[in-house]
Amino acid sequence: MIDKSTRTHRQVEHASDFGRVAVLYGGQSAERSVSLKSGQAVLEALQQQSVDAHAIDIDRDAITQLQRGGFDRAFIVLHGRGGEDGVMQALLQWLEIPYTGSGVMASALAMDKVMTKRVWQSAGLPTPAYVVLDGSQAGFDQAARLDLPVIIKPACEGSSIGMTKVERSEDIQSAWDKARQVDDIVLAERWISGGEYTVAIVADQALPAIRVETPHSFYDFDAKYQADTTRYHCPCGLSADQERALLDLAKQAFTLLGCSGWGRVDVLIDQEGQAWLIEVNTVPGMTDHSLVPMAAKAAGMDLGELVWRILETSVVESIGKVRGVSA
């Protein structure tokens, strides 16, 4: 059995030590198109370093593919449901195939924005006020009392899918209807005016923060993956002390959820300088528009080194002996 809770990463010097690697991508979530691009980038970067990597576009036959493939480990590049929410992690643990990134519980918690906020609030970490909407007028009125504008979002969806910024109370229900098309649980969150920042974490090390600037009303799907008008600033423009505090907060938020290996923490900083935690992505994008490769480049890592270090998170020392690595 793979133990994610007591693990430390082991550095790997030779590609052959990774063995046969399954790059899991695609899937059936709303983020399939992004995952296909991310997975292809990861596959090519691994193969260029002589890693014996093979792509698997995950479908309902995933168990058979993984069992018959003779894989020594898996690099998970599945975004959204079925890949980032603990489901694939649980399957791989059952098959005793080591994998990259966070374990089952942490993946499930981080995918659920409501549960994530509850964990952070219990520890006193700053996250915007919110309400869970049940479709009732009383719930919509409660959302309006958060102070407009608010952001309406599905609890368990990524890439800003199903999200709407609402400026008028009469538009809350239609935004709820839109979010309900992709998730049964919908929340309204207080809008934070200020700068949007993201902190990538690789091998449990926080990389330089990136400030995201977009002419869109918020950093939506188009701004993330399609628009050429989005600007990424790294250095992020904060003072050294401010950035250090931001990185520390991101690592604390990441660790508190039980996350490990790699991921990305999204934060808003308001006009008074207060940081507000928004969410954690445990399998961030790896496309040419993605933020983790940008942060890695700022830290002196090219894509090849980045994917190597992420793959190393599947090679762990646990309970006094090495697990998940070829002898």
- Least Cα distance to 90 among 116, 113, 70, 111 occurs for 111
> How many CA atoms are closer than 13 Å to the CA of 70, on its beta-carbon side?
3
Identify whether 225 is a catalytic site residue: yes
Give the active site residue among 285, 290, 309, 324.
285
Q: How far apart are CA 229 and CA 234, in angstroms?
A: 16
Considering the candidates 35, 38, 107, 159, report the single residue annotated as catalytic: 159
Active-site entry in 279, 290, 309, 324:
279
Q: Is 279 a catalytic residue?
A: yes
The whole-angstrom separation of Cα 233 and Cα 291 is 11
Q: Rounded to the nearest 5 degrees, what angle is found at the Cα of 8, between the Cα atoms of 159 and 81?
A: 25
Task: Verify whether residue 159 is a known catalytic residue.
Answer: yes
Catalytic residue among 183, 189, 266, 312: 266
Active site residue 285: yes
How far apart, in whole angstroms, are the C-alpha atoms of residue 259 and residue 25?
20
Spatial CA neighbour of 161 closest among 144, 185, 181, 133: 181
Distance CA 252, CA 269 (A): 16
- Confirm if 291 and 232 have CB atoms less than 8 A apart: yes
Q: Which one from 99, 130, 219, 225 is the annotated catalytic residue?
A: 225
Q: Which of 65, 105, 61, 58 is nearest to 83 (CA)?
A: 58
**Selected catalytic residue, list 25, 31, 39, 314:** 31
**How many whole angstroms from its chain centre is CA 298?**
19
In angstroms, the CA 26 to CA 21 distance is: 16
Which one of 112, 264, 290, 312 is the catalytic residue?
264
Question: Would you name the residues annotated as active-site residues?
Answer: 31, 159, 225, 264, 266, 279, 281, 285
